[in-house]
Amino acid sequence: MGDVVGAGTIRACAECGKVLLPWQVEKGFRLCKDCNDIWQRGSEGARAAGAGGASPGPDRGQPAGRTRGDTPRGATAQPRVRNEIPPGYLTPEGGYLADGYFDTRGHTHDGVLVHKGVLVMDEPVGQNLNDVPIARIESMVGRAVYALSFGRTDARAHAQTRGGLSFVQLHRFYLRVHAIDARLGRAPFEAVKRDLWRLPGLARRAAVRGVVPACFVEFVDTNVALADKDPQSLRDGFKQHLQAVLCFYQYFNPRS
């Protein structure tokens, strides 16, 4: 893919085309973490077989035409997290869903259901959000995906903390919201709202345990506050927005 000039230099892995992290670009790396791991395994296998005269090659994991200088030692030791997600980023005051789910005609805002604008959507599947300036993400789906991908968990509660929410965790949350929505046909909305109100507490418990990033609490709080207005806000607003976030999250985090 080469370099893309814009808000910063975006460089792709020379082997698979995945977008490299900013620190990898600055250090002149040419391979992403996954391709570097493959190269390292191939090199170790070649050294182990050195007495037999074996040489490293593409069949042992080393990308063709690479030399050891292409990927500096320690390229795989960096954390996945790029940015600290500022407090309030997923709140109306921070610009997230400040206009709600619907416009004055009752139609869902585009940015609530799709991600468009700052990200180049015709890049290969498996691109990531590492090189997207946080202030330039305009769609509500994009803001949520970015924050949930890179928000930090509480390191004190979770020794092996890493950036981001896992896809499995987000999918489980979607299933819970889907189950709440399914009750609308069997129970009055006032009863269904009680199930919605349980979600912020569950999100806080998960955050304290270090299972989810702190911004997930903001995500839940903001959406529950909007969804408990009426059945349309729950079904056509919260649920549909969450489904869009889930789909785009998986797109940008295929290995999550």
Model confidence pLDDT, tens digit, residues 12-37: 777 666 777 777 777 777 777 777 77
Distance CA 192, CA 195 (A): 6
The mean pLDDT value for 149-168 works out to 63
The 10s digit of each residue's pLDDT in 189-215 is 999 999 999 999 999 999 998 889 999
The mean pLDDT value for 32-52 works out to 62
CA 130 to chain CA mean position, Å: 9
Amino acid at 251: Y
Do the Cβ atoms of 133 and 8 come closer than 8 Å?
Answer: yes
Return the pLDDT at 36.
Answer: 75
The mean pLDDT value for 218-245 works out to 97
**How confident is the prediction for the chain on average, in pLDDT?**
74
The helix, strand and coil proportions of the chain, stated in percent and rounded to the nearest 5, come to 50, 5, 45
Task: For the chain, give the number of residues.
Answer: 256
The mean pLDDT value for 28-55 works out to 62
Do the Cβ atoms of 126 and 15 come closer than 8 Å?
Answer: no
